[in-house]
Amino acid sequence: MLEARPKSFCSSTWQIHRGDQVAAEFSHGWWNESAKLIVGDQLYRIERKGWSGAFRLLSGDQVVLSAKKASAWKARFEIQVGDDVMDIVPENWGGKSWIVTNRDGTIIGRMGRHSWWTRRAWVDFPEGMPVSVQAFLLCLAVFMWNRQSAGMGSAS
């Protein structure tokens, strides 16, 4: 299990820890839903194509994976990693925690905030899932939490 926490109280930089070691770090924008992700010595970008387009994890100019909303009215995202497709959906009405499932509905993993009063989060995915994918999924959840905090809901 990974533990994620902002570097400081108002920071937009999150560190993702595996035990005592920092496994990844991402810094997200305050005004747009984009981020810079560092895993080891590999630099990635997380960006959204247009106002309502897919979120993408990029290594250089190569798309590693993408996440698009299945519907404008639901908070569910379809995640495309190569030929694999996963869904990420809120586990409860408040969106404090999220589950990731494969296409047949089998739960692959979960992530969520420890409480409403903290920005600290936990990430529980299989050991074989790359940290870059786990960090991308967490960053997507952080974007949704930020929308909720700003009163935007999950409309786009």
Pick 78 or 9 by higher pLDDT. Answer: 78
pLDDT confidence tier of residue 156, bands split at 50, 70 and 90: very low
Confirm whether 100 is domain-assigned: yes
3-state secondary structure the chain: CEEEEECCCCCCEEEEEECCEEEEEEEECCCCCCEEEEECCEEEEEEECCCCCCEEEEECCEEEEEEEECCCCCCCEEEEECCEEEEEEECCCCCCEEEEEECCCCEEEEEEECCCCCCCEEEECCCCCCHHHHHHHHHHHHHHHHHHHHCCCCCC
What is the pTM (predicted TM-score) of this model? 0.83
Confirm whether 156 is domain-assigned: no
Q: What is the CATH number of the domain that holds 111?
A: 2.40.160.200
Quick: pLDDT tens for 83-106: 888 998 888 776 688 899 998 889
Q: By residue range, what is the domain housing residue 102? A: 2-150
Quick: pLDDT tens for 16-45: 899 889 999 988 776 677 789 999 999 999
Confirm whether 155 is domain-assigned: no
Number of domains in the chain: 1
